[in-house]
Structure formats: C-alpha cells, structure tokens
Amino acid sequence: MKISGTFLDEISHDIPHQNWGEKEWDNDFAHMKAMGIDTVILIRAGYRDYLTYPSAYLIDQKGCFKPPKDLVQLFLDLSSKHGMRFYFGTYDSGVYWDTGDMQQEVDINLFLIEEAFGKYGQHPSFAGWYLSLELSRKTKGAIEAISGLGKHCKQISDGLPVLISPWIDGKKAVNSKTHLLEKMEAVSLQQHEQEWDEIFSGIRDHIDVVAFQDGQVEIGELEDYLTLNKALADKHGLKSWTNSESFDRDMPIKFLPIKFEKLLLKLEAAKRAGCEKAITFEFSHFMSPQSAYPQAGHLYNRYKEHFNTL
Amino acid sequence: MKISGTFLDEISHDIPHQNWGEKEWDNDFAHMKAMGIDTVILIRAGYRDYLTYPSAYLIDQKGCFKPPKDLVQLFLDLSSKHGMRFYFGTYDSGVYWDTGDMQQEVDINLFLIEEAFGKYGQHPSFAGWYLSLELSRKTKGAIEAISGLGKHCKQISDGLPVLISPWIDGKKAVNSKTHLLEKMEAVSLQQHEQEWDEIFSGIRDHIDVVAFQDGQVEIGELEDYLTLNKALADKHGLKSWTNSESFDRDMPIKFLPIKFEKLLLKLEAAKRAGCEKAITFEFSHFMSPQSAYPQAGHLYNRYKEHFNTL
Amino acid sequence: MKISGTFLDEISHDIPHQNWGEKEWDNDFAHMKAMGIDTVILIRAGYRDYLTYPSAYLIDQKGCFKPPKDLVQLFLDLSSKHGMRFYFGTYDSGVYWDTGDMQQEVDINLFLIEEAFGKYGQHPSFAGWYLSLELSRKTKGAIEAISGLGKHCKQISDGLPVLISPWIDGKKAVNSKTHLLEKMEAVSLQQHEQEWDEIFSGIRDHIDVVAFQDGQVEIGELEDYLTLNKALADKHGLKSWTNSESFDRDMPIKFLPIKFEKLLLKLEAAKRAGCEKAITFEFSHFMSPQSAYPQAGHLYNRYKEHFNTL
C-alpha cells in the first residue's frame, strides 16, 4: 500500500510555515512524483483572515488579507507540469470553532465554491473537491453541512468527486495547542460504527470518498477501525481511502515527522483492510527531502528503500 | 518599511541556543547587512547566572558563571567590521521575576552599566543602550526603574540614546513556558492609551526610543495600537520604532520562524502608522540563512525578493 | 572531563525519531569516535510495542511489532567496526508506568535478558548491561527489581558490568509530556543522601556502575549532588559515572541541544566531584554533526574546539 496522494498544508493552522517560493514548490512536486504521488489536496482555501488565493469575496466582504501569492494557481500549474490531480479544499472561517454556528460556515463556502470554480474550474488539473471541515461524531450540524456543500460542489462542477477526511474520536484526538497527547474518554469501536453508519446515511449522495485520519487510535487498534470504515463505506457506496498521517502524535514537540516503522505499520493495516488509496497529511513538512525537518528527508529515503523506488 | 535593526539573543531565555562560534557570527552579521540591517541590540548582558561578558562584578559578587567567550567584545568588533551600531542590553538577574523586588534589579544594573561602559564604552560601535526589563502596564515600580536606569545610562555615556521595547498586554501576551497561545483578559485600546500616557510621562526625560513588540495583538488590530503608540510617543517627545517579531506566536511549537505574509502585514501596518524604524526579535534564529530553523532562510529569501534586495 | 560514552536512543519515547538508515548510523559512530567516545549504550531494547531487535519472545508472546531492522545487530557490528564497547539496555513494557506492577516488568526482562544474550552475547563488542528502568527514590519495588535483574545479567554473562542511570528528584524532574519545566517539591540533598544510601545498600552486590542523570538540578547545585553521589558510590563499592545530558531542559521546546556553556559547566563539576567517566544522553540527536537539529553540530564543533580535538 503506497502513498499516492498528499495534502498541501499552505494555510498554516498548527504546522509552522516553511516560507517556500515557487522554486521550492516546484522541487517539492518533483519529489512527490518520484515517490509515487499523483494527487494533491489543498488542505483549505483559507483559514480565518489568511487566504491561499485572492478571493474578491473574502477580501472585500469578509475583510480577509490579500495573500502575497496566488497559491491555488501555482499548485494547479505545478499539478499540470508534474502530472498531478488537484483537489480544492474549502475555506475555514473559524466561525464554527468560535461560536458553533455551522450555517454561517456553510453559507460562506457555498459562495466560495462558486467563486473558486469560476476562477480555476477549467484548469486541466482541477480534479475534485475536499470539504475541509474536519468533522467527527460530535460535530453539530455536520451531516447537513457536508451534504449541502458536497451537493453544491458536484452540481457546479458536473460531478467532480468530493472527498472528506474525518477523524476517529480516539484517545489521541486532542487539541494540538494543548500539551496533552492523550485523553481519557475515547470512542469505542461499537459507538464509532453506529455513529458513522448514521453520518454516512446522511451524506452518501453527495460525497464520493472518505479518508479517515489514521493517527488518533493506537496502531494496534487501527486495523479494526480501518476494516470497519471500509465496510461502512462499502455499505453506503463510498470509496474508502486512508489518510495516513506522516507526523508523530506521540512526542512532546507538536509535530515532527513520524518514525518510519509506524508509518509502515499503518499502511500495512490499511492494505489488509482493503483501503483503495492512501494519502498523507502531509508530504511537504513530514516526508520531503527539502523539509525544514531533516527527519522528513530520512523518512523519504526509508520509504523509497522499502518500496524499491530509489 | 524595511527591517533595519535586530536584537542579538545570546543569553538564551526561551529560545534554544545555536552554539555558534566566531565564524558563524561573522557570517550572520554579513547576512544581516545584506538585508539592510544597520543596528544590533544585545537582548541582555546576562540572565540569572549566565553572562555575555566576563563581568567581574557579577562573577565575584553575585556568583554568576564566567562565560567561555566575551560576546560583547565579539559583537562590538563585528559591528565595526560590518558597519553596525551596537546597543548594549542591561542584565536581568531574575530577582524581579522571582520576588517582585525591582529595587535590587535596578541597583545591580546601576553598577553594571558603569562597569560595561568602562570596559566597552569607547569602542567606536558602542552606540546606545537597551533597557532589557520588558515592562508592561502591570510591572510594579517600572516607571522609577526605567527612569533611573535611563538617566544613569545617559549621564555616563554623554547622552547616548536609550531604547526600551515593552509589550502590549494583548491576548497573545502569555508566558512562553506554558502551552497556552492566548489568554482571556487582554488590555483594551483605551486602557492601553491611558496607562502608557502615564508611563511615558514618567520616563520621557530619560528614554529616547520606544519600540513596542508587535506580536501580542491580532494583526488586524495592530495598526490601531501602532498608531496610538506613535501619537503617544510624539506627545512625549519620544521616537517610535516597531519591534516586528519574526517568530510565530500562533503555533504549538514555541517558537519557529513566522510566515512571511504575517511579517509583511505587520511591517505595512507600521509604515502606515508612521513608525520611524523597524527592528526585529530576532534575525539569527528566525530570519538567518544559517539558522538552525531552515524556515528562517526561506523567510530571508522571501523578504529579499519582496524588497528587491536579492 | 571528556564525554566518552553515549546512549543510543533508538526506541523513540519522547525524542522524535531521525529515520536514519545504516549509512547514517555508520557515519554517526565515526563522528562519535572522533569526539572520543568509546562506549555506546542502548537506551532500551524496546518500549511497549516497539522493538530494536526481532525478539521472538516479545513478538510471539506479547504481541509486539516486528521491527523493520535489527538495530542491536547493526549497533554491535558498528561497535566492532569503530572500536566501541556496547551495553545492551533492557526492555520497558510500560506495565510499571501504567499499573505500578514492577514484578511483571521484572519477569519479562528476566526472560528477555536470556534471549538477548543467547542471540548477541558472543559478539565481540557485547560489553555490558544497562538496566533501563529509570528509578528514582519513589519507585516502588525498585531495589528488588534492580537487584534481581542485575544478578541475572551478571550470572548469565560471566559477570559483565551492569549500569544504571537514575534521576535525582530535583526541581526539573518533570514529565516531558507536560508543558512544565519545573516543579515545586524537589528532594533535598539530605533526603537524597539518606534514600540513596538505602538504595545502594540493597543493590550494591548486583550493580557495577551508577551514572546519575545531571539535568534535574540547577547547575549551581550540581557539584554537591555529584560529590555526594560519588561518596555514596565509594562507600558501597560502586563506580560513579555522570550522565551529562546534552539536551536543554530549560526551553519551551522539549527538547533541543543544550547550550555549550551549560554542558561544559556540568562536565567541570563532574571532574571536581571525581566522577570516573562521563556519558551523555545522547549524541545522535544533540551533539551529532548530522543531527536533524543543526544546533547539535555546532555543539560538536564548540566541544571539539574546547577540548582541542578538532
């Protein structure tokens, strides 16, 4: 089970920015390609006041900052150059996190999806949508939000695929900005099944792919969750990918590249569970030879050694 | 608005030490110069038991450790070599932080200022003083301390300029050694004005330059604070610089280099507010091509690209 | 007092993994050698589910993961190539930390010690044992555990030396996975003496070397502890080494390389206290020229400059 997709984390939320320019991004896409990556997924079009592209709507009407560089255009052009499929990630206004108001989050994104598709939808590498709302079982209003946004994405884009990447509410599902690594109350496999069966029922018509994050449960328990996720996805006619995180959730420094052995164990579990594709969060900080974290380059080498792609 | 000054953070308080030798420092001054920096400011002469220069007073009478290298001499010599003006930062004994006793902090520094000026004051690059006490509105005894130390500095040095760099008690003004990124109770613009009007009244005769730290408030609110600071400084006959922090306060890792966009937004706000000079905390960890954090070198490149100084 | 030994931290507990392959390890042993290191100590054979070597016992009976690489074999071979003595560190199942059950920890290791010695004991570089249980004064059952394991190690290996590296319960003895840097209640020198006199009485027949960690007390107090430790060790017929930590416990980022001055002060204190050897935790992250933390390479250079081994 090789990794063939990666998120592009260029609206820094909790991973410090690398301050790359065009040249570094071009090199990075080449490194990705050499490792077997064919799909890149923008983690989000913007986060609060910061944007990846100069959205007239968000700048003029919401007071966001005009970004110094149009990264969506850059990523689309590099996708064409390096033979990648690009998924556009929606905007995160922060309103839901601050107030619990999901409707406003949805309304903003319904508008943004149109603007973005108008601007970039005809680019030959524009291949799908990623709904950046990282829902879990307790996310109020998530079913309606995901359905509504997914439906809108598919309608205006003639059915381009829609991806979500939820988290399992396992014991490592803790806020990255606390010092904690684990919490006491984690979801059980049974609860997870019941809740996600319900969620999938509600969103199945407007979503194509579900790629659960694989880092919130212990590696020894992961295969059970992946197998269950695959069965649920099959039942509801969805594709099941794995989002195999390449950063380490077990260390005091939040976050540095994962130990190769852990990544390999997770990919092997995904293979046994029958996942259709593995993507990762994310290549450029945690697996790239030019990452600011040199452990990432060594991870890249170990990965390529293992899969004989050196 | 270009950055033309930087602190030298060579008494490690909360930023890990880079363990540079003379060669690395020499290179770093050259990198600074190439970016347009003409002023370097020693963040502090010492912190608790650790010193930047072998102060007979602090070693013999206070039991501080004799440093393996005289960094003040080195920085002065490199300042001359690279055409920089050097500001000497006072000592932080830790007594105030531990006990609230400001008088002892002042007494120690009154002595140290004389010792240091006797040792280094005739060096052609010795250009001014930095009072390292990072006061804010709640710092008890700060007005008297700053006045007293500033007066002493100017008296013995024939009026060399004295700089302070206070913090705005905004929502990001949190202890670097907690996991917190924000706090609930932040100062309002109105309170800030009232309190700093009072503080400036008390220190105006013995201080020349105020460079508020710019990282404790949201970037969207920064211009209001900078404008107010400038008006207050003008009213009291002080110069208003900005201390544009080049590290990122929004990330779980405390601290790594800031995203270029954020730095640029802050510098643009300072320009609109009429600040007379921009300095940064600090070049060597967060903007230098030879920093241990490679994001810093990329920040340097983005900065130079933007300001056409490549 | 030069550092002549280092731990090998290859079961990541709280220090992120570097993802090195054979080539990097080979280089690292060469760098160690060039600095005067003659002893390498495996920090632990395994931690919970992760192993350094494919232990049939732990994989088949305890469900541990089969490691992608036999690091014990690699480290032994590199020890022979570079003229090092290798100490084998025991396994940490996590059972004691989770449940307080020391007996199970002991039972597992009694078995493991035999397995490991059977597999690697005839290797010419296999030179001793390290009991990885990091005991302090409050560790229940520690005396019996250390005695029992030490006795077993010596019996099956014809008396090869056994090393322990306990921690002083000083004010910096805090959990690495909290944000804290210090705690309020630290041991006094007197308590430390009384308690360790008792512990040494109980373990003296089955242990050869005690290397206290040197980072949990203030540097200004360290010499008193080292001197006391040496006196206690002498009284009980043990060798007293120092484990001079090369990472910095005073910074918000847990952990990056230490400031050279601090390391030097600690080594000088150990020299005055009469320690027989200095080892460090650990070279590969915190002192190596190829560490992912470039501060480590600069520390290596400062160290070599100081000791004239450039």
| Contact in structure between A87 and A126 (CB atoms under 8 Å) | no
Whether B276 contacts B2, CB under 8 Å = no
Long-range contacts of A301-309 (CB under 8 A, 24+ apart): A301/C19, A301/C21, A302/A260, A302/C19, A302/C21, A303/A3, A303/A35, A303/A260, A303/A263, A304/A34, A304/A35, A305/C21, A306/A260, A306/A264, A306/C68, A307/A2, A307/A36, A309/A34, A309/A35, A309/A36
Average pLDDT over residues B247-252: 96
pLDDT of residue B115: 98
Residues in chain C: 310
Q: What is the pLDDT of residue A105?
A: 94
Average pLDDT, chain B: 95
Q: pLDDT, tens digit, for every residue of B94-134?
A: 998 898 889 999 999 999 999 999 999 999 999 999 999 87
Per-residue HEC secondary structure of A172-219 comes to: CCCCCCCCCCCCCCCCCHHHHHHHHHHHHHHHCCCCCEEEEECCCCCH
Residues of chain C with pLDDT under 50: none
The confidence score (pLDDT) of residue A100 equals: 87
Mean pLDDT of A262-291: 98
Residue range A84-107: mean pLDDT, rounded: 94
Instruction: Determine the Cα angle at C58 with ends A305 and C163, to 5°.
Output: 95
**What DSSP designation does B206 have?**
T
Flag whether residue C17 sits within 8 Å of chain A, measured between CB atoms. yes
What distance in Å separates the CA atoms of residue C280 and residue C239, rounded to the nearest whole number? 16
If one compares A173 and B89, the residue with the highest pLDDT of the two is: B89
What does the pLDDT read at residue A67? 96
Residues of chain B with pLDDT > 70, as a percent, come to: 99
Q: pLDDT-derived band of residue A310, with 50, 70 and 90 as boundaries?
A: low
Give the model's pLDDT for residue B310.
53
Whether pLDDT at B59 is above 70? yes
Task: Report CB contact under 8 Å: B253, C250.
Answer: no
User: Can you give the C-alpha Rg of chain B in angstroms?
Assistant: 18
pLDDT tens, position by position, B183-197: 888 889 999 999 999
Q: Which has the higher per-residue pLDDT, B100 or A84?
A: A84
From C256, C301, C305, residue closest to B16, measured CB to CB = C256
Interface residue of C172, C218, C253 to substitute, partner B, most B CBs within 10 Å: C253
Q: What is the pLDDT of residue C137?
A: 72
**pLDDT value of position B92:** 95
Residue written as token pair 């020198």 = C189
For residue C222, the one-letter residue type is L
Mean pLDDT of A26-49: 97
User: Looking at the whole model, is its pTM more than 0.80?
Assistant: yes
Please check whether residue A194 touches B, CB under 8 A.
no
List of chain B residues whose C-beta atoms are within 8 Å of the C-beta of residue C293:
292
Rounded CA-CA distance A40/A86 in Å is: 5
CB-count exposure of residue C2 (10 Å: 0-12, 13-18, 19+):
middle
Q: Identify the helix (H) or strand (E) that includes residue A148.
A: helix A142-156
CB contact under 8 A, C261 and B68: yes
Residue A228 has pLDDT above 70, yes or no: yes
Rounded percentage of chain A residues whose pLDDT exceeds 70? 99
pLDDT band at A309 (very low <50, low <70, confident <90, very high): low
Residues 6+ apart with CB under 8 A from B42: B7, B8, B10, B52, B71, B72, B75, B86, B87, B88, B89, B130
Nearest chain B alpha carbon to C219: B49
Q: How many CB atoms lie within 10 A of CB B94?
A: 14
B51 Cβ partners below 8 Å, 6+ apart? Answer: B11, B45, B58, B59, B64, B65, B66, B67, B91
Amino acid at C154: K
CA distance linking residue B226 with residue C152, whole number of Å: 69
- Confidence tier at B302 by pLDDT (50, 70, 90): very high
Among B117-131, B213-227, B249-263, C169-183, which stretch is predicted with the lowest mean pLDDT?
C169-183
Contact present, B264 and B234 (Cβ < 8 Å): no
DSSP assigned state of C15: S
- Reply yes or no on whether the pLDDT at A128 is more than 60: yes
Q: Residues B6, B279: contact at Cβ < 8 Å?
A: yes
Residue A164 and residue A209 in contact, taking contact as beta carbons nearer than 8 Å:
yes
Q: How do the domains of chain C map onto residue ranges?
A: 3-309
Tell me which residues of chain B, numbers 152 to 171, contact chain C at a CB-CB cutoff of 8 Å. Answer: none
* Helix, strand, coil fractions of chain A, as percent rounded to 5: 45, 15, 40
A65 contacts in chain B (CB < 8 Å): 219, 261, 265
ipTM of the complex model: 0.96
Neighbours of chain B (3+ CB pairs under 8 A): A, C
Pairing of strands B46-47, B50-51: antiparallel
d(CA C101, CA C301): 44
Taking only the tens place, the pLDDT of each residue in C170-204 is: 999 888 888 888 888 888 999 999 999 999 999 99
d(CA A36, CA A5): 8
Superfamily of domain B3-309: Glycosidases (3.20.20.80)
Do B241 and B276 touch, CB atoms closer than 8 A?
Answer: yes
* pLDDT mean over B155-172: 95
Contact check, Cβ <8 Å, A298/C179: no
Least confident range from A76-85, A123-132, C44-53, C91-100: namely: C91-100
